[in-house]
């Protein structure tokens, strides 16, 4: 039989693909899911059970949480990346890692075909296809939903006709959960003016008071929460468990899709937003102004290229090298206060803090230069402006 690997989530689209490709097209379907932080063990068992009901020959769940952190999230933290100053790239970052893991698995079993359930109207088709064709140009990509332009009802009718009569009722809100945040889509996000209601978010407010949390960074990586050391990915999970009951990290992102359409999506990313803001504050204390300035635009490019599916372009490795190099002195503690629906950054404690009193205090007495030296410095630094205004005033 023709061996095919299917990127399988267990939803309607990939279920249709599993049945159609095995029953109608005669493929030996190997269904693969990639855990980037959104699966419980019970969910994995349920997805596996349903996959075999769809006629697949084999099911594989790949644990890629550590890989996801090391290959992508680490650099999103180093760069303080928030798309359009709000969105921590929760879903787009996941898709890149999922595509890489799936195509590598397909190569490992010598599959000649690979399939995904993306439609022709979204970002994921671009991300999956670009990764697949770059890493394995010899493997043919098959996309039944996109090619057939199938409606949701057509897929349901097909599955029922083939003996798969499961509950395919479309949930009021579409939830995609991962290590770096949860996206939330609903009828409100299809408009430009409506907010998502509280009940749309997966985590509800439970804690009404305040709670202080200490985040410890070493070379830009989160190595401990409240003094408890763990792997960075585990620390992200632990921080999310602490912050989510405060309903922190809710927002709606508006941005440009890869295919040129404006998109709007809600998200809940308590840990991601807290870590990025805390890390950025620590950088303000430990990096020079030129490091901070150049990091800003390179980080913006990194986030945009990642979102657009350009992860495999070598320029991404170049930017990652710069970002990693910039973190040599980004070490210390950041104290954060968690509150209902928001958080505040209290301050930092770092041996690399450049706000060191022995060099003088801003707005107070200086210790590094004389009054005459200050006057000379100001005269020279203002010389270009003085020349320009004198010249142009005579025209």
pLDDT in tens, the chain (395 residues): 799 999 999 999 999 999 999 999 999 999 999 999 988 899 999 999 999 999 999 999 999 999 999 999 999 999 999 999 999 999 889 999 999 999 999 999 999 999 999 998 889 999 999 999 999 999 999 999 999 999 989 999 999 999 988 887 777 898 899 999 999 999 999 999 999 999 999 999 999 999 999 999 999 999 999 999 999 999 999 999 999 999 999 999 999 989 899 999 999 999 999 999 999 999 999 999 999 999 999 999 999 999 999 999 999 999 999 999 999 999 999 999 999 999 999 999 999 999 976 666 666 667 778 889 999 999 999 999 999 999 998 77
Distance CA 51, CA 57 (A): 9
**Per-residue pLDDT tens over the stretch 248-298:** 999 999 999 898 999 999 999 999 999 999 999 999 999 999 999 999 999
- Give phi and psi for 127, each to the nearest 5: -60, -50
86 Cα distance to chain centroid: 12
Q: Which CATH superfamily is domain 2-161 in?
A: HUPs (3.40.50.620)
Distance CA 99, CA 107 (A): 12
Q: For the chain, give every domain's residue range.
A: 2-161, 174-287+326-349, 357-393
Q: Is the pTM of this model over 0.75?
A: yes
**Per-residue pLDDT tens over the stretch 306-319:** 999 999 999 999 99
Which CATH number applies to 174-287+326-349? 3.90.1260.10
């Amino acid at each position: 039989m023709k061996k095919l690997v299917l990127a399988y989530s267990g939803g309607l689209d990939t279920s249709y693909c599993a049945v159609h490709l095995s029953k109608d097209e005669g493929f030996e379907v190997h269904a693969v899911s990639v855990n980037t932080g959104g699966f419980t063990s019970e969910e994995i068992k349920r997805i596996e059970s349903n996959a075999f009901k769809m006629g697949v020959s084999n099911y594989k769940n790949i644990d890629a949480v550590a890989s996801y952190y090391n290959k992508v999230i680490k650099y999103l933290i180093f760069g303080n990346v928030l798309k359009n100053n709000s969105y921590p790239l929760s879903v787009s970052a996941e898709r890149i890692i999922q595509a890489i893991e799936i195509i590598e698995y397909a190569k490992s079993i010598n599959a000649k075909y690979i399939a995904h359930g993306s439609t022709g109207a979204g970002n994921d088709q671009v991300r999956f296809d670009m990764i697949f064709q770059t890493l394995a140009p010899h493997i043919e990509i098959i996309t039944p939903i996109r090619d057939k332009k199938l409606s949701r009802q057509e897929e349901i009718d097909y599955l029922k006709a083939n003996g798969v009569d499961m509950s395919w009722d479309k949930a009021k809100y579409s939830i995609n959960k991962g290590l770096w945040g949860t996206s939330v889509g609903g009828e409100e996000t299809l408009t430009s003016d409506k907010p998502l209601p509280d009940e749309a978010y997966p985590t509800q407010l439970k804690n009404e008071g305040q709670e202080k949390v200490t985040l410890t960074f070493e070379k830009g990586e989160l190595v401990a929460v409240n003094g408890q050391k763990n792997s960075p990915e585990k620390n992200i999970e632990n921080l999310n468990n602490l912050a989510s009951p405060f309903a922190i990290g809710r927002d709606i992102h508006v941005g440009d899709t890869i295919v040129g359409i404006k998109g709007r999506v809600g998200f809940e990313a308590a840990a991601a937003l807290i870590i990025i803001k805390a890390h950025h504050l620590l950088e303000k204390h430990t990096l020079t102004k030129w490091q901070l300035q150049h990091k800003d635009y390179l980080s913006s490019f990194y986030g945009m290229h990642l979102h657009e599916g350009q992860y495999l372009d070598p320029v991404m490795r170049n930017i990652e090298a710069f970002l990693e190099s910039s973190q040599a002195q980004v070490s210390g503690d950041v104290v954060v206060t968690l509150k209902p629906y928001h958080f505040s950054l209290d301050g930092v404690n770092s041996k690399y803090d450049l706000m060191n009193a022995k060099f003088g205090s801003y707005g107070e007495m200086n210790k590094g230069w004389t009054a005459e030296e200050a006057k000379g410095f100001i005269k020279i630094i203002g010389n270009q402006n003085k020349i320009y205004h004198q010249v142009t005033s005579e025209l």
